[in-house]
Structure 1
Amino acid sequence: MPATASPTALPHSPDDSAGCDVLVVGGGINGCGIARDLAGRGWRVTLVEADDLAAHTSSSSTKLIHGGLRYLEYYEFNLVRKALQEREVLLRSAPHIMWPLRFVMPLQPDGNLLRPAWLIRLGLFLYDHLARREVLPGSTGVDLRQHLVGQPLQPQYRRGFIYADGWVDDARLVVLNALDAQARGAQIYTRTRCIGAERDASGWNVSLQGPDGTRRTLRARALVNAAGPWAEAFLRGVARPAGGETLATRHLRLVKGSHIVVRSRFEHDPANPHAYIFQNPDKRIIFAIPYERDYTLIGTTDVELPGTDPAGARIDADEIAYLCAQASHYFREPLTPADVVWQYSGVRPLLDDESGDASAVTRDYLLESNQDAAPLLSVWGGKITTFRKLAEDAAEDIGRMLGERRPAWTREAALPGGDLSGWIGPAQRPDTDFTRFVQAVTQRHPWLAPTLAHRLARAYGSRIDDLIGDAATLADLGNEIAPGLHEAELRFLQRTEWAVSADDVLWRRSKLGLHLSADQRAAVADWLAAHPHRPTQARSPNSPASRKAA
């Protein structure tokens, strides 16, 4: 995605004597999660991101909140248990952007079993019992000849299993963590590069470069390296002790995961959505997931990227052909590359464990503390499901290194927009709570078309009235710049969510780009270019100034 001029700015003084307690480098899910946790514990936090929030890996996942069923084959029991424990914690924290999803795993026809049924049953038994469940149902067997979920599949698939995990809007999850961090006092600067970090005994002298090339310095007591695929390069080329030697002690293995989007290949009850998990002859698996109402998301691949700049990762023709071929083994209606309407690739920064198979490399994270001088914490690996626990562990490590341990708090906390009680009363279940919330939104704002009301409820949760403000008619939201996208929402995204470019709005803050024509996407870009917004940083929607501006 192209980097565009930013509305954010650096601290005004070139020698910020106040500085901060912790500088976090990286605006992906781990960096924003860590900034949120640290700020909530009362530390002064600054986060810098070279591009947009979630511009790379964190907006390019398979968008699942899951334990990782296949990792049981690699004996990753600790990782799976940790991820399973997090599923319902996350679902309760933001029911507008996360919800339960049931997965159908067809069994191969008799005589051609990739994994025998008894082995799958054993794996699902562990999956059901490694962590406590209150919202997600347990696994069951299914007769695909009788059940609705079998209709899109080829007739040779007669039996299967159904189990539960969750779905998440990954890019919005990152933004919500950044919003919460900011509301708790953190400074968030996008399109801002950390171009130098010099370490001494008591802190870090950090050089930052803003989108206009302006350079500033910042003093930080501790540094968190959450640069994702660039974490190793950051330690080798940017962060260094006064003596100049490298701080890098580990190697990352960069693995590209690509996805394709096609027109819907199946229809289920919208109130009870199902996805598919397909076993492939190469022992890998792919998912086919209902996506953006009219589409099916299919992924992912595992392709090594030796010596490649992660920013340049793109899906190639072989990956598209692979995903189409594997899905066609299962669906009645074959897939071809011509059916692909959109695609994306992300680079997973996996800690190199010298495994020969990229699919077998651990998805668990490692937090590496370095106290040779001022505290340094580097984040290696990780997966989106465990981001909150990773951030909690990171905050504990930072507190220990600073000699100021402070209590954890995020496990029971809602993310911005996730507390729906002001609309629907006490929470019951995340999935049914959201259904009740949509009903409340349509009752309060009957002039909103049902599809628009649902989309805004999904995107913003209980923050929806911060966007709508005093509007009483659709015309009060301003001109409709593209179908379903009005000026009021664009201003809201600029003002509160660090959105600058059309890509920020259409592919990360939303997926509206998938539903719009090239001309309609260009109209959004033109409007943003004609209406730049340049505060020092995006306002918290809960601040008095933000409410007045709305």
Structure 2
Amino acid sequence: MNGPFDLIVIGGGVNGAGIARDAAGRGGKVLLLEAGDLARGTSSASTKLVHGGLRYLEYYEFALVREALLERERLWRIAPHIVRPMRFVLPVEPGMRPRWKLRAGLALYDALAIGGSLPGTRSIRFDRHPAGAPLKPGPVRGLEYSDCWVDDARLVVLTAKDAAKRGATILTRTRATAARREGGLWTVETSAGSFTGAALVNAGGPAADAVAQLAGTETAYHIRPVRGSHIVMSKLFDHPFAYIFQLPDTRICFAIPWEDDFTLIGTTDADHTGPLDHVHAGEAEIAYLCEAASRYFAKALKPSDVVWTYAGVRALVDDGSGRPEAATRGYRLPLSEPGEGAPLLGVYGGKITSHRHLAEEAVDKLAQRLPALASPAWTASEPLPGGDFPHDRQADLVADLQRDYAFLSQRDAQRIGRAYGTLARVWLGAAQVWDDLGRRFGAGLSEAEVEYLKAKEWAQTAEDVLWRRTKLGMHMSDAEQSALAEFMGG
């Protein structure tokens, strides 16, 4: 039996990693258990945005939007390598929300972000704006506003990496099979043995109800699993702006420049009733997204044009909403009563943008029962690994990498800088030419990078490397991907 730990966290998504990081930084002895790879589910299947949630204003979730906008700024500052500002354009179309309503909503959005450093909203004309070129003739007027893009899976990995740096034990591919209170502690049975801890956190995401059952507990909250699907096309435009489109069913759709060569389009909101492993975009969802984007782009998009799809199940709080898109994006953190024995904290709901604040609130709650966590909150200003440079100097970091490693193309330097920040030099080392980094697998992926990901970021398979630690699977041939899988043993 291993332990006792102060805190055992079940779930290696963004919320579980965030709680482990916060608690470890306060001096707690923390164990994080993840049945698969870090960010293997919902946390690598988002729309890749750090945003306030403009459409949540329609549901009067003003506090949620305010919190998310504050967190947008904080995440940009503590992770400037993986978070970057992006300007969004919103066409005004007859029959949809009127311009005055959109302008008022964005004015409120900007006001709720007071103190932030991103530029505010402005009115545009598409016949004078670069974002107008790929669109159908039609909407002439629009609005342009700010939000941020994030590498979602790397956010999870780097959060876990910081937790480990502060003393947390991170065990991936270690499934919890049972949990019970005994002797004033939690005992958690896993595929790697038994562990004991003073408190248990259920950060199972869409599987939170199953984790609660595993622990033999019942809570006042339950998960409403809502599937969000995305499609990827060869790039539809050359400018850096993202689009947010209004749809006749009142939903919205994003079209975002992605991975240099592609356009990412999403998302859907559909109640999910199937298994949580290997979630896929359905044919109807793919067709829906093609049709949604084709309403605006001059190029008619068909399912046959789709080069990749992905889908994830959001762990929303089941608040009884009729339509899945109307379900709250807020979160609940129920803590068991003292009379029940060792504390159990549940995590229900939440979103990537608010994960740091959620984790801080969760650990604050636990600290009331666990003296080991009684230190002050600290994560709001402490950079994630590789993010220890000014938040508005990402371009300088990339330029410095290209200067010091002249064999890197601008594209390679940008990818590496945006993924690793200041830690890129750890595995680039004293390399003077590509051969100094060992075997080349394609798309700029080297043996040195793969070995770093295995040793420092828990990567065990080619899928871990190509689809979570990087997105180089989008740029590599089947033969190149197979060669990497053979090199990594699976």
TM-score by structure 2 length? 0.97
**Which residue does 2:408 correspond to in 1?**
448
1:460 aligned onto 2:428: no
Q: Distance in 2 between matches of 1:187 and 1:54?
A: 16
> Letter of the aligned partner of 1:529 in structure 2?
G
1:36 Cα shift?
0.3
1:505 aligned onto 2:465: yes
The 3 A distance-change label for structure 1 pair 102 and 133 is farther
**Which residue does 1:234 correspond to in 2?**
211
1:129 Cα shift?
0.4
1:351 aligned onto 2:317: yes
**Which residue does 1:7 correspond to in 2?**
none
**Which residue does 1:480 correspond to in 2?**
440
1:394 aligned onto 2:366: no
Q: Distance in 2 between matches of 1:226 and 1:488?
A: 33
> Letter of the aligned partner of 1:53 in structure 2?
L
1:376 aligned onto 2:344: yes
1:269-280 equivalent positions in 2, closer than 5 A: 273-280=240-247
Contact 2:232–2:262 under 8 Å retained in 1: yes
> Letter of the aligned partner of 1:465 in structure 2?
R
1:273-292 equivalent positions in 2, closer than 5 A: 273-292=240-259
Structural RMSD (CA): 1.2
1:70 aligned onto 2:55: yes
Secondary structure at 1:199 match in 2: strand
Q: Distance in 1 between matches of 2:266 and 2:376?
A: 39
1:225 aligned onto 2:199: no
1:201 Cα shift?
6.0
**Which residue does 2:31 correspond to in 1?**
46
Contact 2:232–2:308 under 8 Å retained in 1: yes
**Which residue does 2:486 correspond to in 1?**
526
Deviations 1:402-431 (A, max 9, x none): 2452200011110000013xxxxxx2xx24
Contact 1:481–1:527 under 8 Å retained in 2: no
1:407 aligned onto 2:376: yes
Contact 2:6–2:28 under 8 Å retained in 1: yes
Q: Distance in 2 between matches of 1:62 and 1:288?
A: 10
1:263 aligned onto 2:248: no
Q: Distance in 2 between matches of 1:184 and 1:204?
A: 23
Secondary structure at 1:370 match in 2: coil
Higher alpha-carbon deviation: 167-176 or 129-138: 129-138
1:46 Cα shift?
0.4
Q: Distance in 2 between matches of 1:198 and 1:351?
A: 25
Q: Distance in 2 between matches of 1:516 and 1:30?
A: 31
Q: Percent identity?
A: 50
Secondary structure at 2:300 match in 1: coil
1:206 aligned onto 2:172: no
Q: Distance in 1 between matches of 2:379 and 2:155?
A: 14
> Letter of the aligned partner of 2:321 in structure 1?
S
**Which residue does 1:88 correspond to in 2?**
73
> Letter of the aligned partner of 1:255 in structure 2?
V
TM-score by structure 1 length? 0.87
Contact 1:201–1:373 under 8 Å retained in 2: no
**Structure 1 stretches lacking a partner, 5+ long:** 1-14, 211-215, 241-245, 421-426, 531-550
Contact 1:22–1:43 under 8 Å retained in 2: yes
Contact 1:257–1:300 under 8 Å retained in 2: yes
**Which residue does 1:57 correspond to in 2?**
42
The 3 A distance-change label for structure 1 pair 114 and 260 is same
Q: Distance in 2 between matches of 1:225 and 1:296?
A: 35
> Which residue of 244, 255, 272 maps to 1:305?
272
Q: Distance in 2 between matches of 1:482 and 1:443?
A: 22
Q: Distance in 2 between matches of 1:448 and 1:357?
A: 49
**Structure 2 stretches lacking a partner, 5+ long:** none
Secondary structure at 1:137 match in 2: coil
> Letter of the aligned partner of 1:418 in structure 2?
G
> Letter of the aligned partner of 1:232 in structure 2?
D
1:445 Cα shift?
1.6
